[in-house]
Amino acid sequence: KEDVALTLPENPKSLSTAIREGKKTFVEAGGPRAYFGAPAEASAAEGDALYVELADIFASAVRELM
């Protein structure tokens, strides 16, 4: 998987901005290959930290709906 990530060009589009604008698909959001940012510059540690942060945000949102 890392070798594939190293070949992907940077995508400067913002997924969070696209969501706020009501975009519903990756294509609409400017990520036709379903990624944003610079995967070639990312690390596993950065991905792990982001995953934990997003999981916390998701869990908080679910708790608010309960």
DSSP secondary structure letters along the chain: -HHHHTTPPPB---HHHHHHTT--SHHHHT-TTS--B-GGG--HHHHHHHHHHHHHHHHHHHHHH-
- Which pTM was predicted? 0.71
* pLDDT tens-digit readout, 24-51: 999 999 999 999 999 999 998 999 999 9
Q: Which two tokens stand for residue 59?
A: 């869990």
What's the mean pLDDT when you consider all of the chain? 94
Number of domains in the chain: 1
pLDDT number for residue 57 = 95
17 contacts: CB under 8 Å, gap ≥ 6: none
In the structure, what pLDDT confidence band is assigned to residue 2 with cuts at 50, 70 and 90? confident
Range of the domain at 21: 2-65
